[in-house]
Structure 1
Amino acid sequence: MDAEIELKLFMQSQYHDLLVKLLNGMSESTPQNTRELSNKYFDTAALQLRRWKMGLRVRSSENFTEQTIKTAGSVIGGIHTRPEYNVPIEQKIPSLNLFPKDIWPNEADIDGLQQDLHCVFETNFTRQAWHIYIEGSLVEVAFDVGEVLANGESEPICEIEFELLAGEASALLHLAIEVARTIPVRLGKASKAQRGYQLSGHQHSAPLEKIDYICLPTDKSLPKTLEVLLETGIERWQIIESLLIETRDIPHQAKLWMQLRACVRLLRLTLSQFGLLNKQVLQYFELIEQQMQFIEPLQSLSLILDEQKKLLGKRADKTVITELVMTKVTELVSSHKLAHLWQVPEYGQLQLSLVDLLLKTTNGSHQMVDYPELGLFANHLQQDSWQKIVNLMPVTAAMDSLDYQKVAQRLDESILVGFAYGELYQAEDREAFRAPWQDLALGIQTLGSYQLLSEITQDSDIEIASWLEDKAQSLLFAMEHSRKSALKNQPYWK
């Protein structure tokens, strides 16, 4: 049995030659033989191996054939650790009896499994490999280019795997960061097996409805809290990416983009709160935030689609307006695809920096001796976040639509702080305090909706300007009343 410890990055094929040149030119780099690898993945009709979190394949090349089974492992950020068992064979069908008996669950009927095995999908790719010494560790870098095949369909493979052969797992990350300085990459959550199951129609990415309260550690340890917040953020980021790739529904894509921005913002807030937001990582966040500026209008336009009855009422031209809005939403989503974001080098550099921080947190590199216990720490963060909102919109000030738009991001971030630590407080008190602030955030989005409606109907025959002005003024009146009431409420963390 071998314990496979690896980090996977996805990249785009146009950087093939640049990556090869980079890896060939690294000190302590030894190129290995290039191989053509054919892989067939097996399971039962009921996908019993998948249910047990096992992956079974037969891999063939010119001079060898071996069967491999990988059992359930763990993932920290993007670093995967899984036990695997490799057995040389001569046939093309795996023989389960060749694996150790103790890897199977007690209820496993090995003979029954064997009879029910069939090939679910294939992956065929060319593998270029290098052995690279870094920081006293030996890492195998494998660059795979090929395709996943299932049900007559195919999906391209273009990925880099960093596998630890000897030494410390941190070497994987440091080598990956070195590559990311030159090649635009992103964390690769889905293994070839996961992608094969998805293409075959046997697996779909788990839904992620919203950024919700995070399940914090029961021991209220600050290092463990940081670990949970980072791990949850990185995991959700990758899930949202997977869903964005899979979905073809434009309104659903719009919501996923909003969730992605919220996830990235929450990670930035977390690093800032724990004093880990250095200048370089902050620059990464700021650049990604700039790339996501289209999400603000997308959020307001999506609100119109979701709340047609509430926002457009009984207008006779409601259908025409909705069609114009849908056209604009489609235009925004279509012109801001993930592939464009992946071309930004800082995207992958930020992801890897976060995994690096997570790994250091997990192995105890961050000492937090001066931090209070979690409850006091969360109280301080909540108070600081809320005080900034109070300073931006004091009860004595009168705010117009533009004033509210200016505080939109700060209010959004304050709400996200509450999501991160909300589990520590009584739900009734927490929700009663947060409700008016969430209503204000919704009001700001609605004001943005009115502004965009004015813009997209300018060149049409729709008479809407005075109607929108009346709606905006009515909403502002209600928001001002809600804001002043909310500012008088007693915070739930005191």
Structure 2
Amino acid sequence: MNAEIELKLFFLPIYQQSLINKLDSLDNSVPQGLRRLANGYFDTPDLQLRQWDMGLRVRGYDAHREQTIKTAGQVIGGIHSRPEYNVTIQADSPDLSLFPREIWPSNADLISTQAQLVCIFHTDFYRRAWHVQIDNSVVEVALDIGEISANGRQEALCELEFELLSGDTEALLKLATQVASVVPVRLGKASKAQRGYRLAGQSQPLDLTVLEFLPLAEHRETAAADLTASCQSLLEIALERWQLLESMIAEAHTPEACVALWWRMRACIRLLRMTLSQFALLDATLLSQFMQIEKQLDFIEPAQALTALLGSQYRLFHRQPQSRQLKPQLQLDLDDIKLDEQLNLLWQQPEYGQLQLAVVERLLKVSAGDLGINKLTSLRQHADSVLQASWRAIFEVMSVNNAMASKNYQQAATVLDESILVGQAYGSLYDVKSRDTFRAPWLDLTLGIKTLACYSALNNAGHKLGIDLHEWLDDKQQSLLFAMESTRHNAIQQSGYW
């Protein structure tokens, strides 16, 4: 049995040669040649192995055949660790009896399972490999180019795997960071098996339940342990959801659904930045990377307004005599954003993968205890402090002494969004009724700000068409602003629940 520890990165096909050049040029890099690997993944029709959290494949290369089964493991950040068992065979189909008996569940019927095995999907690719010595560790780097196929459907495969052959796990990240410094890459959450099952229609569509509040817990052995565990939990949740939302964006079917996913993905990125800052783990370089990526997501607000007007919020202007003229212009404005290109544009930024790897590095150090959280406060005191800080930030941009216009609200949107995220991160630690009562008007204001953005998008569209919507929009905005100002004054006068 081998304990496979690896880091997987995805990349766009256009960067294949750049990656080869970079890996060839690394110090202490020994090329291992090019090999074609043909892989069949097996399971029963009712996916019994999948239910046992196992993956079974037969790999062929040259005249060699090998069956491999991977059992349940864990993922921390982007580091995958799974026990695997390999057996050389002569046939093209696996023989379960060749694996150790102790790996199977106690009630497993191996004879029945063996009889039902069928090939669910194939992954066929060319693998170019290198062995790289880094510090006192040895890492195998494998660049895989090919395709996954199932039921007559194909999906491109472009992956870079860093597998630890000996030494310290940190070597994976160090080497991956060297590669990411010159070639755009990104963390790869989905394994070949996971992607294959999806392509074969043997897994549920990608989905991610909205987390209203993050699950934090108090009362470990020490206050420092509480804080360390909470920091780790916040980073793990946000990083994992970032990767999954990225995949969901790639598969989104409608523009409005796509923008909603972008909104949630940016929230994960902001939560990572804020968590690292709150635990004093955010240096100037990392902050700069965060801000650069978040700046590239500025298209989200205008895209959200336009997709809403063309979809769920069409009622905002459908009774306007000029609605038939406005709708095509709104569509042109949305087309100008090039929503379907934004993900690839982001993936072409080296800073994107660099940021992900930097977050994984800090997460691993926190989980290993190498970045001790040395505060003497309890988790509850820490949460009180960050909630109070976010409350002060709201006061600075929404002072009760000043009236706010549409522009002021939209400028304050980011601060309000971050304050709500802080409440989501630590809200599970507080009384439900007082917490929810406090948050309700602020959530109402975020909806109001989105509606104001819709009115701004309508105004821009009207201006381009030479249609004067000023009087109608002013009436709509003033009515909404009156309600929002009342909500804001009531919200500010509340006492904090922390």
Give the alignment's TM-score, normalised by structure 2: 0.95
Q: 1:378 aligns with which of 369, 377, 383?
A: 383
2:212 pairs with 1:212: yes
Letter in 2 for 1:54: M
2:119 pairs with 1:148: no
2:246 pairs with 1:253: no
Conserved in 2, the CA contact under 8 Å of 1:214 and 1:229?
yes
The residue that corresponds to 1:438 in the other structure is 443
2:481 pairs with 1:476: yes
The residue that corresponds to 2:46 in the other structure is 46
- How far has the Cα of 1:125 moved from its partner? 0.8
2:355 pairs with 1:355: no
2:33 counterpart SS class: coil
The residue that corresponds to 1:85 in the other structure is 85
- How far has the Cα of 1:52 moved from its partner? 1.2
Aligned residue pairs total 493
- How far has the Cα of 1:315 moved from its partner? 4.3
Deviation larger for 8-17 or 381-390: 8-17
The residue that corresponds to 2:130 in the other structure is 130
Letter in 2 for 1:251: E
Conserved in 2, the CA contact under 8 Å of 1:399 and 1:480?
yes
Conserved in 2, the CA contact under 8 Å of 1:300 and 1:446?
yes
2:73 pairs with 1:68: no
Conserved in 1, the CA contact under 8 Å of 2:218 and 2:379?
no
- How far has the Cα of 1:463 moved from its partner? 5.7
2:168 pairs with 1:163: no
Q: Deviations over 1:200-248 (max 9, x none)?
A: 1112454125352111134360011010000001100011011112222
Change beyond 3 A, Cα 1:50–1:462? farther
The residue that corresponds to 2:95 in the other structure is 95
Cα distance in 2 for partners of 1:272, 1:167 equals 31
Q: Deviations over 1:362-392 (max 9, x none)?
A: 0001122234110000001000110111122
Conserved in 2, the CA contact under 8 Å of 1:371 and 1:377?
no
Equivalences for 1:323-338 in 2 at 5 Å? Answer: 324-326=329-331, 328-329=333-334, 331-332=336-337, 334=339, 336-338=341-343
Q: How well do the aligned residues superpose, as a CA RMSD in angstroms?
A: 1.8
Letter in 2 for 1:28: N
- How far has the Cα of 1:319 moved from its partner? 6.4
2:267 counterpart SS class: helix
Cα distance in 1 for partners of 2:15, 2:317 equals 48
- How far has the Cα of 1:421 moved from its partner? 0.5
The residue that corresponds to 2:297 in the other structure is 292
Conserved in 1, the CA contact under 8 Å of 2:58 and 2:93?
yes
Cα distance in 2 for partners of 1:382, 1:267 equals 16
- How far has the Cα of 1:333 moved from its partner? 5.1
Conserved in 2, the CA contact under 8 Å of 1:10 and 1:185?
yes
Cα distance in 2 for partners of 1:53, 1:444 equals 45
Deviation larger for 84-93 or 258-267: 258-267
Change beyond 3 A, Cα 1:283–1:52? same
Cα distance in 1 for partners of 2:344, 2:400 equals 44
Cα distance in 2 for partners of 1:53, 1:8 equals 19
Cα distance in 1 for partners of 2:311, 2:428 equals 29
The residue that corresponds to 2:15 in the other structure is 15
2:369 pairs with 1:364: yes
Q: 1:237 aligns with which of 239, 242, 245?
A: 242
2:498 pairs with 1:489: no
Letter in 2 for 1:445: K
Conserved in 2, the CA contact under 8 Å of 1:250 and 1:333?
no
2:195 pairs with 1:195: yes
User: Identity over the aligned pairs, expressed in percent?
Assistant: 48
Cα distance in 2 for partners of 1:265, 1:334 equals 21
2:212 counterpart SS class: coil
Q: 1:404 aligns with which of 409, 419, 422?
A: 409
- How far has the Cα of 1:19 moved from its partner? 1.4
Letter in 2 for 1:439: D
2:143 counterpart SS class: strand
Cα distance in 1 for partners of 2:375, 2:136 equals 33
- How far has the Cα of 1:448 moved from its partner? 1.2
Letter in 2 for 1:411: L
Cα distance in 1 for partners of 2:166, 2:356 equals 24
2:427 pairs with 1:422: yes
Q: Deviations over 1:75-110 (max 9, x none)?
A: 000100001010000000101111111111122111
1:337 counterpart SS class: helix
2:463 counterpart SS class: coil
Cα distance in 2 for partners of 1:224, 1:274 equals 12
Deviation larger for 42-51 or 398-407: 398-407
Give the alignment's TM-score, normalised by structure 1: 0.96
Q: Deviations over 1:171-227 (max 9, x none)?
A: 111110111001100000011111111111112454125352111134360011010
The residue that corresponds to 2:223 in the other structure is none
Change beyond 3 A, Cα 1:308–1:217? same
Cα distance in 2 for partners of 1:371, 1:442 equals 38
Cα distance in 2 for partners of 1:61, 1:270 equals 46
Conserved in 1, the CA contact under 8 Å of 2:256 and 2:304?
no
Letter in 1 for 2:457: L
Cα distance in 1 for partners of 2:408, 2:356 equals 33
- How far has the Cα of 1:409 moved from its partner? 0.6
Cα distance in 1 for partners of 2:17, 2:477 equals 55
Deviation larger for 85-94 or 107-116: 107-116
The residue that corresponds to 1:186 in the other structure is 186
- How far has the Cα of 1:404 moved from its partner? 1.5
Conserved in 1, the CA contact under 8 Å of 2:217 and 2:429?
no
